[in-house]
Structure formats: structure tokens, C-alpha cells
């Protein structure tokens, strides 16, 4: 087929689909599909490219045609990534994959029963490949549409309105209802978790722009999305001796704003700051072809879906043994890098605050909350590449998230340098890094997630946490709220943890890898007559069970992902490796005997290693049904994981004890980890980075 014929063919197809949907469903608007999606040639799509708007639309159309036994709500439609076995050889050889059909993965809900079905659609054959009914207890995350629906529903409830009125808020336009997952509900057998339950915390606003978290209310409502009603309203504890005292609560009216327009104008704002600009007079050093990114010696693919947001696929490095450009060879590093789950347990032990906690990905979806980015505020540079993302609405139609991902470079100081102190001659290379970022707002919090790539082949992941701390009411006259910091009169910010579970699928110099912990320890006395000796201890994990390890700051523990038998470093003689360098040593604080523990058990260890199995993507399981890592490591049993295809999971946690300075909006806190080449090269791989003046 000629190019022209393909264009015409695709145009006709789209036209037909459009017509069909108008006839079948009474005229849905065919929105948010841009020209480039309609006229993309199949052959230019990589099997890991996110679904296009056209593919989202086609998926829901095929699903409806296949099964019209119910009215389906489309919870998600995203790429069904091909099995690793079909892609791995192409990746290892850095070849374009051939003959791999694109497929979509959808979770749909029966509008009446809210029971969920997983559907895989083969987009090439245009047919449903699998249809899996899930038990009612397995429920997918609550997308934004459902959250908005729940917010309106609680605000329409007369009991809720009465409670708000008693607190001085009779105008419901000035009441904010924050919709949270319910977390643990095992102590309420009267409520059915299969009915999609959410809870709502309430806050008042003085004006529409006002920061509501300065005015917390004293009750929580549980909403049943199946019955579409409020099923429970509970008092929140507001003083330590709550049960002894029955005085009605008052809500603080003191404002705490951060929007410059509410901050007293020009006199309040600093006027002595001059701009710092980055210029790139010769353009960018990276290229982006669809989703393929090349920068310096790195190559990788960008992916995106509604749950994880940004994904990095198939990272490789073009190694030319410094200075021998003829020897350029492709060396695989990581098959897939992603944030796989996050959990924010709150530390207030007074019920019903035991239900306050959120799995931001598994229960709320992070990808759908992506902000629209720009080059002035979020990703500062002159040459920034933005990528849109495509998700779906409940009718199965595509929704475009504009500029959801940014790719840009920046200067990060000295990369290496030495001055010969005898001659005064110096050599220096400055470090330039490539950033791939996305920013999500989930309720009161904002997270900026960035993968940084460096010229010495280091890869670093950073989460910046900002936004507003979730507040709760303290009774007038109470001086202590416990489990939190009082950040303004009657306003408490509860202690909580941020748990991030990363999925790192290494492919260090090939498909067969091993993982080991590396500790630095004092030498035993018999080896150290002067007591100053120290040494390293490498412990290679033989089973998944053995790999469940905690960080150890007393031995500077790191973990190595090692190639099967490649020994690049001729002098050291050990396998080529990448080292995971942790940055956080906070332990998971939910206790093992807590009824909340089984669902969050993946948060326990700092590192877990599992044998690679397709579909095991989310640390707590796709539906957070007490599965994920604990189940998979157990299922792996005594199976050997040395020199096999393995996945390393790194869990890091930040204890957030709010400070006065975190209020009313918190200065960004940084968290993350680093992946460093470890005897992967023969020498400093950045010797060939030029200094700024050369
Ligand atoms: C249609 O959906 C219902 C409910 O999920 C299921 O029981 C039935 O088997 C489906 N039919 C087909 C042909 O897949
Ligand atoms: C409720 O508040 C909104 C926003 O301030 C305002 O526009 C509206 O007029 C108020 N309604 C009543 C009945 O006071
Ligand atoms: C797993 O490891 C722990 C601690 O190393 C050990 O106590 C336990 O017996 C192991 N379980 C299995 C099934 O091997
Ligand atoms: C590594 O192991 C594989 C499989 O056992 C073997 O084919 C290959 O030759 C080995 N490579 C080296 C460098 O020893
Ligand atoms: C959780 O659900 C998955 C289906 O996604 C199932 O395979 C798994 O066995 C379940 N685990 C538990 C512990 O119920
Ligand atoms: Cu926090």
C-alpha cells in the first residue's frame, strides 16, 4: 500500500467508527482526537507506545460490540504491554520489533452491579481476546469522575448539610469535601466494600479562593457509590479527652493563604529577586522520536498510563570504551523503570482516623492527575519537549492530558575536576543532565516525579513532595492533638508516612541477572591488628525469600544488580553491575499485627527481588487485595533467582512530621534513590565530556 492509500484508508476507518458511535449511542462527541493520532501509520508505532486516542476509542467500541449485556462504565483503557518474551530479543539487540500486535487492557464496570471485568482487546484483529469477570470484592481505583460524583453526592446529603450549618457553613458552595479511599473497613461489617466505598473529610472556605485546610470540620462521611448515598457519618476526635466533654465544636476562621492575590499585594512579595535563565543557543542535545529518547549515550522509551503515570522502558547505553567511537555497542541496562505503588498511612490512632490513609496509585490513580506543564514554571529550559498523554472517560472516549510529560536538560555543577597543585593546570567537565518529569496533584498533595540521567551513566529518581498537609480540627482550648503538629490555632497536621514502592526491572548486560546486598564493615579483630581495617561483604540472594532486606545505615548497605557473567572490568574481575544507592532509612510504622498490615505488607522491606513474571507490575497487587510482593515472594518458594530474569523492588519512605514551615503550603521535600554503574565500565565513562570552554 502506498502512503497516500494508507492515509485514505485510515481516514475512512475513523469516519466509519465515528458514524457507528453516533448511531449506537445517540451522538457522543468525538472529542480530543488530534490530527496526528488519526494519521499515524501502524508501522511507526512501537509496541510500548501508549495507546493513541484512536486506539482508546476503538477499544471501547469493540468491547461494546462484543458484549452488550450491560451498560459499561470504562474505568480504564490503557496499553496491554506485550509479554516480555516477545520483545526482549529485539531490545537486547536494539532492533525494531516486528509483527507484534498492539493490544489494550481495560477494566470496565457494570453500571448496575459495579462488578468489574478485565478485557484485553487485540487492536490489530479488532476483537476481544479475553474477558475476565472479577469477584465483586476486587475493585479498581476511583477515577476523578467518580470522586467528583462522590463530592457532589455528600454535599447534597441533608445530614451533611445540617452538620455544616451547625458549624457555621450553610452555603455548600463554600464547603470542600475531600474524597479519600476508606482504607480499612473490616470493623464495619454493616458496610459492603464491594459497593465502592469512599470517605469524605470536610473543610470550609471563607471565600471561593480561600485555602479550606485552614478550616477543618469535625466529622467524616462514608459514601456508598453503588447505592449512591451517604451510609455513615462519624465524629472525628477533636481533643484527647474527647469522650468526657460534649461541648459543640467551633471551626477556626483564621485564614492561611498562599495565593499571591490573597497575600496583601506588592508590599508582601519580595521585589529584589532577579531572574536566572538557562539558555541553549545551539539547541537541545536530545532527540525525541515519538516516544524514543536519545541523549548522550543513553537511549530509552517513554511510556505513560492512567495508574503509574510516567514509565521508562528499555534503557540502553551506547558504550564506546571512551575515545574509541568505532567500538560503539549497545548495552542493555533496564527493561522497565516505574513507580509501582505509594501508600500514605496516617499516624493518628484515634478511630475513625485509623481509616485515614491512601494508596495513591492503586486506589486513586496517579497518572490521571497529571498537571499541564510549561517551560516557565515546571521544566525550566529553552528547549523543552512536552508529550501529551491519553486516558479515557467513563464512556470509553479518549481524554487528552496536554503536556503531561516534559523532557529537558539542565546544568548541575561540576562533573569531575582536578588541578595539578604543582603546575596549577586544571581539567574540568561540567555536568549536564537530562530530566524526564511529570507532576501529579492528588487531593491536598502535589508530587513532582523526575528521572534524571547523567553523563557518567548515573540514573537518579527524585520525588518532590509539596502541596498542603491534610489538617484536622482541634477543639477550642485544647492544647494538644497528639499524633500531629498544631500549625495554627485549632488546626492540626497529623504525622504520616509517604511510602514509595519502585519497580526496577534490570537487564544489566543481558537478560540474566543476580542481585546482592553490599555492606561495608569493620574487619574482624584477627584481620585488623590496629583496629582500623574494614572490608566489604557481598551477599548474593539465592531465593526471593532471602532478598527481603532492610536498609542498614550502620553498614552503608547498597544493592547490586549484576550481569550474568560479563566481566567488563578486567582488573576487578567481578560481574558488571549497577548499584542501587538508597537515601532513606525510615522504617514502615504500621505494625505486623495491625489489621491494616496485610494490604500494605509490600511496604515492609526496603528491597524485594522476584523472578520476572508478566503482569506483576504493582507492589501491592493490581487490586490491593493483600497480594503483590508478599504473595509473589512466597509463590517463588525455593526457586533459584541467581543468574535469572529478576525484578528488584525498592521501597523508600519519608516520615512526615509536619513543621510550622509546612503550613499553609509546604516547601518541596525531596526523596528518591540513585542507580550507579558499578564496575560496569573500565574507567570513568565521562572522560570524554568536554569542559565548558573547550
Ligand atoms: C458478557 O458479560 C457478562 C458479564 O461480565 C459475562 O457473564 C458474559 O460471559 C459476557 N459474554 C461474552 C460473550 O463475553
Ligand atoms: C454561596 O457562596 C457563593 C460563593 O461565594 C456565592 O456566589 C453565592 O451567592 C452564595 N450563596 C448564597 C445563597 O449566599
Ligand atoms: C524465609 O527467610 C526467613 C528469614 O531469612 C526464614 O526465617 C524463613 O524460614 C524463610 N522461609 C522460607 C519459606 O524459606
Ligand atoms: C555467559 O553464559 C552464557 C550461558 O551460560 C554463555 O553462553 C556465555 O558464553 C557466557 N559468557 C561469558 C563471557 O562467559
Ligand atoms: C488478588 O487478586 C488477584 C487478581 O488480580 C489474584 O490473582 C490473587 O490471587 C488475589 N490474591 C489474594 C491474596 O487474594
Ligand atoms: Cu507529607
CATH code of the domain in which 291 resides: 2.70.98.20
Domain shared by 126 and 188, yes or no: no
What's the pLDDT at 567? 63
The rounded Å distance from CA 92 to ligand 4 centre is 15
The rounded Å distance from CA 58 to ligand 1 centre is 19
Minimal-distance CA residue to ligand 2 atom 3: 173
What's the pLDDT at 565? 65
Is 694 within a domain?
Answer: no
Domain shared by 234 and 336, yes or no: no
Instruction: Say if ligand 4 is within 6 A of residue 564 CB.
Output: yes
Range of the domain at 643: 286-678
Is 272 within a domain?
Answer: no
DSSP annotation of 549 reads B
Is 331 within a domain?
Answer: yes
Is 557 within a domain?
Answer: yes
What's the pLDDT at 245? 63
What's the pLDDT at 568? 60
Domain shared by 110 and 252, yes or no: no
State the sign of the Cα–Cα–Cα–Cα dihedral 523, 527, 530, 533.
Answer: negative
Domain shared by 128 and 149, yes or no: no
Domain boundary among 88, 114, 133: 133
Kindly list the strands in the beta sheet with 72-79, ordered across the sheet, starting from the edge strand earlier in the chain: 72-79, 103-110, 116-122, 127-133
Three-state DSSP at 424 gives coil
What's the pLDDT at 574? 85
Domain boundary among 69, 103, 133: 133
Sorted by sequence, the CB contacts under 8 Å of residue 198 that are 6+ apart come out as: 142, 146, 147, 150, 179, 180, 181, 182, 222, 223, 225
Is 197 within a domain?
Answer: yes
Is 303 within a domain?
Answer: yes
pLDDT at 13 over 60: no
Q: What are φ and ψ of residue 57, in 5° steps?
A: -60, -45
Domain shared by 626 and 652, yes or no: yes
Ligand 5 atom at minimum distance from 622 CA: 5
Ligand 5 atom at minimum distance from 625 CA: 1
Domain shared by 229 and 308, yes or no: no
Instruction: Say if ligand 1 is within 6 A of residue 131 CB.
Output: yes
Cell, residue 372: 499541564
Domain shared by 391 and 504, yes or no: yes
Number of structural domains the chain divides into:
3
User: Which of these ranges, 18-32, 147-161, 356-370, 441-455, has the smallest mean pLDDT?
Assistant: 18-32
Is 275 within a domain?
Answer: no
Is 683 within a domain?
Answer: no
pLDDT at 21 over 60: no
Domain shared by 625 and 501, yes or no: yes
Report pLDDT digits (tens) over 497-513.
Answer: 999 999 999 999 999 99
The rounded Å distance from CA 331 to ligand 4 centre is 16
pTM for the predicted model, two decimal places: 0.92
Domain shared by 453 and 542, yes or no: yes
Domain shared by 118 and 150, yes or no: no
454: pLDDT confidence band, cut at 50, 70 and 90?
very high
Domain shared by 441 and 496, yes or no: yes
Nearest ligand to the CA of 210 is: 2
| Pocket-testing residue among 133, 135, 136, ligand 1, by greatest number of atoms within 8 A of Cβ | 133
CATH code of the domain in which 203 resides: 3.10.450.40
Ligand 5 atom at minimum distance from 631 CA: 13
Report pLDDT digits (tens) over 658-667.
Answer: 999 999 999 9
493: pLDDT confidence band, cut at 50, 70 and 90?
very high
Task: In whole angstroms, give the CA distance from residue 687 to residue 428.
Answer: 10
Domain boundary among 232, 267, 302: 267
Domain shared by 569 and 524, yes or no: yes
Q: Which are the catalytic amino acids? A: 360, 445
Which residue has better confidence, 12 or 655?
655
Amino acid at each position: 500500500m502506498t502512503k497516500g492509500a494508507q492515509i485514505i484508508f485510515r481516514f475512512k476507518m475513523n469516519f466509519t467508527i465515528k458514524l457507528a458511535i453516533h448511531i449506537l449511542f445517540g451522538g457522543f462527541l468525538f472529542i480530543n482526537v488530534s490530527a496526528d493520532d488519526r494519521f499515524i501509520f501502524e508501522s511507526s508505532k512501537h509496541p510500548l507506545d501508549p495507546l493513541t486516542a484512536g486506539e482508546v476509542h476503538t477499544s471501547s467500541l469493540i468491547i461494546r460490540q462484543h458484549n452488550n449485556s450491560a451498560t459499561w462504565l470504562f474505568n480504564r483503557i490503557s496499553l496491554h504491554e506485550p509479554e516480555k518474551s516477545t520483545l526482549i530479543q529485539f531490545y537486547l539487540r536494539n532492533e525494531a520489533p516486528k509483527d507484534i500486535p498492539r493490544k489494550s487492557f481495560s477494566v470496565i464496570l457494570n453500571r448496575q452491579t459495579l462488578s468489574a471485568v478485565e478485557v484485553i482487546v487485540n487492536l490489530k484483529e479488532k476483537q476481544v481476546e479475553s474477558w475476565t469477570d472479577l469477584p465483586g470484592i476486587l475493585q479498581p481505583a476511583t477515577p476523578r469522575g467518580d470522586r467528583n460524583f462522590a463530592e457532589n453526592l455528600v454535599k447534597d446529603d441533608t445530614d451533611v448539610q445540617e452538620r455544616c450549618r451547625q458549624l457555621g457553613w450553610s452555603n455548600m458552595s463554600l464547603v470542600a469535601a475531600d474524597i479519600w479511599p476508606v482504607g480499612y473497613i473490616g470493623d464495619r461489617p454493616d458496610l459492603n466494600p464491594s459497593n465502592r466505598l469512599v470517605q469524605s473529610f470536610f473543610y470550609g472556605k471563607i471565600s471561593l479562593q480561600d485555602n479550606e485546610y485552614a478550616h477543618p470540620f469535625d466529622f467524616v462521611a462514608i459514601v456508598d457509590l453503588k447505592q449512591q448515598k451517604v451510609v455513615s457519618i462519624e465524629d472525628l476526635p477533636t481533643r484527647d479527652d474527647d469522650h468526657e466533654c460534649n461541648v459543640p465544636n467551633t471551626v477556626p476562621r483564621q485564614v492561611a493563604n498562599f495565593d499571591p492575590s490573597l497575600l496583601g499585594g506588592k508590599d508582601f512579595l519580595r521585589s529584589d529577586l532577579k531572574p536566572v535563565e538557562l539558555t541553549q543557543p545551539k539547541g537541545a542535545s536530545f532527540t525525541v522520536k515519538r516516544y524514543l529518547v536519545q541523549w548522550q549515550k543513553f537511549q530509552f522509551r517513554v511510556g505513560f498510563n492512567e495508574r503509574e503515570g510516567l514509565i521508562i522502558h528499555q534503557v540502553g547505553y551506547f558504550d564506546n570504551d571512551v575515545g574509541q567511537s568505532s567500538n560503539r555497542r549497545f548495552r542493555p541496562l533496564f527493561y522497565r523503570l516505574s513507580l509501582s505503588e505509594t501508600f500514605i498511612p496516617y499516624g493518628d490512632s484515634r478511630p475513625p482516623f485509623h481509616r485515614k490513609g491512601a494508596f495513591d496509585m492503586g486506589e486513586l490513580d496517579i497518572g490521571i492527575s497529571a498537571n499541564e506543564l510549561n517551560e516557565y514554571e515546571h521544566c525550566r529550559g529553552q528547549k523543552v519537549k512536552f508529550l501529551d498523554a491519553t486516558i479515557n472517560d467513563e464512556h470509553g472516549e479518549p481524554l487528552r492530558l496536554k503536556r503531561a510529560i516534559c523532557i529537558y536538560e539542565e546544568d548541575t555543577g561540576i562533573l569531575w575536576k582536578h588541578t595539578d597543585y604543582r603546575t596549577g593546570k586544571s581539567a574540568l567537565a561540567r555536568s549536564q543532565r537530562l530530566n524526564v518529569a511529570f507532576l501529579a496533584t492528588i487531593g491536598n498533595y502535589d508530587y513532582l516525579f523526575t528521572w534524571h540521567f547523567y553523563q557518567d551513566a548515573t540514573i537518579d529518581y527524585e520525588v518532590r513532595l509539596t502541596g498542603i498537609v491534610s489538617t484536622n480540627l482541634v477543639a477550642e482550648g485544647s492544647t494538644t492533638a497528639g499524633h500531629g503538629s498544631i500549625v495554627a490555632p485549632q488546626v492540626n497536621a497529623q504525622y504520616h508516612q509517604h511510602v514509595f514502592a519502585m519497580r526496577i526491572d534490570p537487564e544489566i548486560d543481558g537478560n540474566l541477572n543476580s542481585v546482592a546486598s553490599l555492606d561495608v564493615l569493620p574487619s574482624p579483630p584477627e584481620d585488623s591488628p590496629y583496629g582500623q581495617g574494614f572490608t566489604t561483604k557481598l551477599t548474593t540472594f539465592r531465593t526471593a525469600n532471602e532478598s527481603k532486606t532492610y536498609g542498614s545505615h550502620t553498614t552503608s548497605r547498597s544493592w547490586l544488580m549484576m550481569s550474568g557473567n560479563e566481566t567488563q572490568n578486567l582488573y576487578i574481575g567481578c560481574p558488571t553491575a549497577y548499584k542501587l544507592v538508597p537515601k532513606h532509612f525510615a522504617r514502615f510504622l504500621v505494625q505486623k499485627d495491625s489489621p491494616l498490615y496485610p494490604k500494605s505488607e509490600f511496604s515492609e522491606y526496603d528491597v524485594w527481588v522476584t523472578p520476572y513474571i508478566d503482569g506483576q507490575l504493582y507492589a501491592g497487587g493490581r487490586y490491593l487485595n493483600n497480594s503483590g510482593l508478599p504473595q509473589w515472594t512466597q509463590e517463588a518458594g525455593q526457586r533459584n533467582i541467581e543468574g535469572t530474569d529478576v525484578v528488584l523492588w525498592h521501597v523508600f519512605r519519608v516520615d512526615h512530621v509536619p513543621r510550622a514551615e509546612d503550613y499553609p503550603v509546604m516547601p518541596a521535600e525531596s526523596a528518591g534513590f540513585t542507580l550507579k554503574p558499578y564496575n560496569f565500565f573500565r574507567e570513568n565513562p565521562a572522560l570524554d565530556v568536554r569542559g565548558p570552554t573547550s
